[in-house]
Structures are given as C-alpha cells and as structure tokens.
Amino acid sequence: MSSAFSTIALIGKYKSPEIAESLITLAEFLKSRGIAVLVEEGTAALVGADGFTVASYRAIGEQADLAIVLGGDGSMLTAARQLAETGVPLVGVNQGRLGFMTDLAQNSMLDGMADLLDGSFQSEERFLLEAEVLRGSERVFQTLALNDVVVNKGELGRMIEFAVSIDREFIYNQRSDGIIVATPTGSTAYALSANGPILHPAVPGIALVPLCPHALSNRPITVSDTSHIEIVVHPPHSARVHADGQARFELASGDHVRVARSNRSIRFLHPLGYSYFAMLREKLHWSETPRPY
C-alpha cells in the first residue's frame, strides 16, 4: 500500500537529547516504508541525523507533506508558529508531561505511524492569533500565537493597569497582574490555570481571562473570533507581552497591544477515533471510564 505522505519532517523537543532513540527509531521506520525523511536542523544538531537530510523550517515548509513533533505541547507550539504559513500538517508524539496536543504515546508510536501512513487519520484545523504592538504610529512588534497572547506585569512586583477595548468599544479598565487572550487551543493551557473557560476547538471564540484582578468582578469572558481586541497600558506602568510563552516584548506605558484572529491556521492529524472529550477526561482526570446511559 502506498503512503499518504512521501516526505516527512521530524522535529524534536528543544534541548532534550533523550529523544534521540525515539527519533532515530522513527526515522528508520519511515525510511523502511519508502518515505523521505527530513530532520529539523536544531534537532539534528542535538541528537544527530546520520543518513538523513537536515532541513531548516523553511525547507520543511517547502518540501514536507507532514511534520512529526517528538516532545510536548511546547514543542508543538514552536512547530506550529514556524510552519503556520506553509500548510504543513502536524502530528505529535508525546514525550512531555500533559500533552494536550500530542496524541501518540511513545510506547505505541510505530503502530500509530503505520496507521497514519496508510491514511487512517482525521484532520482538524486550529486557528491562530496575530498580535502587534503599536508605539505611537509605529509597529514595534508582531507575532503569531496558537495558544495565547498574554499581557502581564513582567518582572514588576506590583499590579499593572490597562484598558481593554473590543472592536473599538471600550470595555473596562483593569488593575491586575495581567490578562490572557486565548484561542480554544490555548483554553486548556495558561488560561485554564487562571480559571478561564475550556473552549472546544470547534467554538469560534476567543477567551479573555484576567490574571489575579484587584476587583473580583473582573471575570473571564468569551468573545467572537471575529473580534479585534486592544489592550492599552496605562502610565506610569510598563509591562510585557508574551506569545505562547515563547516570543516576548517589553511594553512601555501607552503602548497599544492589538490581537485578532489570524488568517493563518494549523492542521493537526489525529488517529481515527480521536475524541477531544476523551482527551480531557484523561488529561484532567475527570473520571476513570465513561459509564453507559
């Protein structure tokens, strides 16, 4: 049987040499199935890639039909942000902790890969956020986020104050440690720890979750994914903006942080039978087994 993919890229967890055995095992398996294998250049520098082509993210975007990420959710976030403009789908092999986005267990990796190569998978689109920082009329920072965009107090030991507007309508002034703007994908990440809502990936919404607000009436809200969100830092405070906990930028008083749904998306491939709710039951320990009605 011919494979659904001809060229597959392997991307490993950042600075984690312990993935070497799994990565080489997977590379050899794919090679035995007639698949051309690319190893991301940072991964190759860490674990080696003897006999396999080393490739940058740009080359992966141009050549690969699929990218397999060996790591945890942080590794998936990095790959998603790097490949968002290319349309290359992602599959995750969980070598992290929780692994909300990494479906395949390490001990059943090859069985899962065999099914995937035979075309047994289901596809799911996840949208990203686009964030920019305006200082006066100048754009001084721009980035993408799959999970969330966070404005927080950075290294300050006190609360910050900022204004939030949605579609140019003033919503509130808030005094807090910051605010999380989360996609449905990111609703089970930092936003969940801050008592934000869990959004099913099919929900066309964006969650705004305050971080330790001074006024307890400041509660999480969910707005349409067509909304344009603006956060303005009040003087005399400075702050920091983060994207997926990876990209960051130091904010000055008066900076405008604008966040909206990006026109880019990322595609995840799941094993057949994948269930978002089953994943939540497992990761959040909601129950041991579902009971029949």
Give residue-wise pLDDT tens across range 157-213: 789 999 999 999 999 999 999 999 999 999 999 999 999 999 999 999 999 999 999
Question: What average pLDDT score do residues 204-232 get?
Answer: 96
Residue 268 maps to a domain:
no
Q: Which CATH number covers residue 25?
A: 3.40.50.10330
CA–CA dist 180, 151 (Å, integer): 7
Domain co-membership, 136 together with 235: yes
Domain boundary among 119, 142, 167: 119
Domain boundary among 119, 141, 161: 119
pLDDT-derived band at 14 (thresholds 50, 70, 90) equals: confident
CA–CA dist 130, 211 (Å, integer): 21
The pLDDT, as a whole number, for residue 95 is 76
Residue 293 maps to a domain:
no
Domain co-membership, 84 together with 186: no
Q: For this structure, is 73 an active site residue? A: yes
Split into its structural domains, the chain has a count of 2
Of the listed 50, 73, 103, 244, which one is catalytic? 73
Domain co-membership, 176 together with 253: yes
Q: What order do you get walking across the sheet with 247-251 strand by strand?
A: 221-224, 205-211, 178-182, 148-152, 239-243, 247-251
Do residues 112 and 244 lie in contact, with contact meaning Cβ atoms separated by under 8 Å?
no
With 0-12 / 13-18 / 19 or more C-beta atoms within 10 angstroms meaning exposed / middle / buried, residue 202 is exposed
Which domain, by its residues, includes 36?
Answer: 7-119
Domain co-membership, 138 together with 255: yes
Domain co-membership, 151 together with 255: yes
- Per-residue pLDDT for 293 more than 70? no
CA–CA dist 111, 253 (Å, integer): 53
Do residues 12 and 75 lie in contact, with contact meaning Cβ atoms separated by under 8 Å?
yes
CA–CA dist 191, 179 (Å, integer): 9
Q: How many residues does the chain have?
A: 293
